[in-house]
Chains A and B, each alone.
Chain A
Amino acid sequence: MSDDQTTDPQMDAEAPMEADQTAGSESLVADLAGSIGIEHQLSSGQDVFIVPKERWREVAAATKDAGFEMLVDETVVDYLGVKDVRFELVAGLVSLQHNLRVRLRAPLPEDDMTVESLVPVYPGANFYEREAYDMFGVTFEDHPDLTRILMPDEWQGHPLRKDYAVGSVPVQFKSSPEAS
């Protein structure tokens, strides 16, 4: 009797875990969020982790260890006038072995736009972080080459910010008679 009681819970504990791993189901993502200790949401039916900015790289590394080998996207959204915290860092991760996707989102206050770079974890973050720096002015710590990627090096401002107006830069034609 006592033997049964001790073996049964073990069996129960092991069986669902194996089932989860083989099925690669939703619960893998939820369990992962639980084990890292971050908030798990569904946004338009897609898995999203809400990550504190201080834990950005740590959570990405833990997610990578859980089988999300590939970083497919990293970008920034400017929620000026929509949300209290102005910016939000977004990274898309894909697990090829589990065939799952998860999105990391980290609110980024306007007065402290420095965050740890993901390049040490995912080398492919390089160009995306340069683009985020170029377009939004986010600074990534430990990034190997944090320079402008799309705009010219001497460019002023960050074009994809909401307070950067469209078409506000007049085109200068050097040869035009008015310019001289």
Chain B
Amino acid sequence: MKRELHEVWITGTEEPEWVKRSTDEGAQKMRPEEKGGRLTEQTGTAVDDDFIIEEEIPEDELMIVNMGPQHPSTHGVLRLQLELEGEIIRRSKPIIGYLHTGMEKTGEELSFLQGTTNVTRMDYMSPLFNELAYSLTVEQLLGVEIPPRAQAIRVLMTELNRIGSHQVFLATTGMDIGALSMMLYGFRDREAILAFFEKTTGLRMNHNYIRPGGVAADLPDGWRSDIDGIIEKALAGMDQYEALLKHNPIWEERTVGVGVITAAEAIAYGITGPNLRATGVDWDLRKAQPYSGFEQYEFEVPVGRNGDVYDRYRVRVEEILQSLHIVRQVADSMPKGDYRTDDRKVTPPPRARIDQSMEALIHHFKIFTEGFKVPAGEAYVAIESPRGELGAYLVSDGGAKPLRMHIRAPSLANLQGLPIAMSDSLIADTVATVASFDPVIGDVDR
């Protein structure tokens, strides 16, 4: 009656033709016990609970356990209600809202220029992505062209942020599963990226660096050697992660075949990002719907196969390498020019002009007190954040503040897949599954 965890697969089901399988040798070897054939569909339908109850379970054999919101392994203040039958989770329900701070309401009170200070606090692991999504949407409404250097700086900074975010994922997931050294390695290597962010933006997080119209400041002196140092350090760190985890039998025991989610389930629940790619769906907005000039750079989209914890970990490791590849390309081809648009409507006059011209001073004052007016309309622009599709939906009524500011948070949608991944798994796997989804509660609750 109780299925073994690695027997949740059936063979021979046809998959949609757009589900691409990785051709990477490493990915093929992801499941050691797999013996050929395409194991795609989990038993049961995409959305129903696939636990078939053959015998009536008496009420007193089911137990409801609350995990969190103050649990160290829930990555913030996530609360999980688990319905247990002995050691096995039958059903679970994520309960959220403990970090709800009304940022969408706050966004309606701030001007379009101030908006980035607000959204940057949502997904605190990848703040630059929030700023980028917001800025791109404002620019879509304004119809402003962004100079190539500003775009390249945006790509450079967000890809560095992606590496840092994935390093924290590896660190916290490693710690949750028991690889405590991973915690130290991940945070140690992210430090180099944060130091560069501090040098460039002034802050280690909540940067308010990417703004409508471009970026807040040009790259600092000596940025090129800093980037080379970051790449070198990240690659050296990667060797250590791989040596520690990749073929570690304990790690494989804890992750392979655990917390499985199929491509059909992931799509049905709107799960995006590495969690979707781990199921074998080749969908990355940087490739599919490029923004900020991503079409100029060469990179691969790492795709998993089985949608288990191990694949989600593997996809993120591969993404770090791809992001490093992009960072190197951007650094090599960094265009010259302005780091923000010369549209005077959005960009304040240069500092030197303010000393000479009264009009420039007034203009500067008006931009920073009233903000700039955005034509009436609505737009939704999505980018690929380290957690998936991060979209900003902005509605303007023609004023300087948005009528509605909504952020499509990837973590919120990803969290809906958690009950699917955890159903009929062991309590001990809960922590691994939650960690592998990489939820950021600031992003979930906003």
Contact = CB atoms under 8 A, between A and B. Distances in A.
Given A69-B267, A82-B403, A150-B96, A127 B281 contact: no
B270 A122 contact: yes
B393 A73 contact: yes
A40 interface: no
A159 B105 contact: yes
Contacts of A69: 267-268
| Chain A CB within 10 A, most for which of B106, B140, B268 | B268
Interface string B156-192: 0000000000000000000000000000000000000
A97 B17 CA distance: 9
B342 interface: no
A115 interface: no
Contact of A70 (B267, B378, B393): B267
Given A44-B141, A77-B403, A99-B288, A124 B416 contact: yes
B424 interface: no
B413 A96 contact: no
Interface in A104-138: 122-124, 126-128, 135
A123 B415 contact: no
Contacts of A149: 96-97
Contacts of B106: 166
Interface in B344-396: 377-380, 382, 389, 391, 393, 395
A77 B404 contact: yes
Contacts, number: 97
A82 B397 contact: yes
A76 to B, nearest CB: 8
Interface in A142-180: 148-152, 159-160, 166
Contacts of A43: 377-379
A73 B408 contact: yes
Interface of B is mostly: mixed
Contact of B270 (A71, A152, A159): A71
Contacts of B267: 69-70, 96
Q: Most chain-A CB neighbours within 10 Å: which of B16, B271, B413?
A: B413
B85 interface: no
B391 A73 contact: yes
Interface in B60-86: none
Interface residues of A, number: 37
Interface in B315-353: none
A80 B102 CA distance: 19
A75 B382 contact: no
A78 B379 contact: no
A44 B104 contact: no
B6 interface: no
Contacts of A94: 389
Contacts of B391: 72-73, 92
A61 to B, nearest CB: 13
Contacts of B445: 150
B408 A72 contact: yes
Contacts of A78: 404
Given A96-B283, A99-B288, A127-B413, 5 more contacts: A69-B267, A77-B404, A82-B397, A151-B97, A166-B106
Interface of B: 16, 18, 46-47, 96-97, 100, 102, 104-106, 109, 140-141, 267-272, 281, 283, 288-289, 377-380, 382, 389, 391, 393, 395, 397, 403-404, 406, 408, 412-413, 415-416, 445
Pairs of residues from A and B, 5 with the lowest C-beta to C-beta distance, nearest first = A124-B270, A44-B379, A150-B97, A150-B100, A124-B269
9 contacts: A44-B379, A72-B408, A73-B406, A79-B403, A97-B16, A99-B288, A124-B269, A128-B412, A151-B100
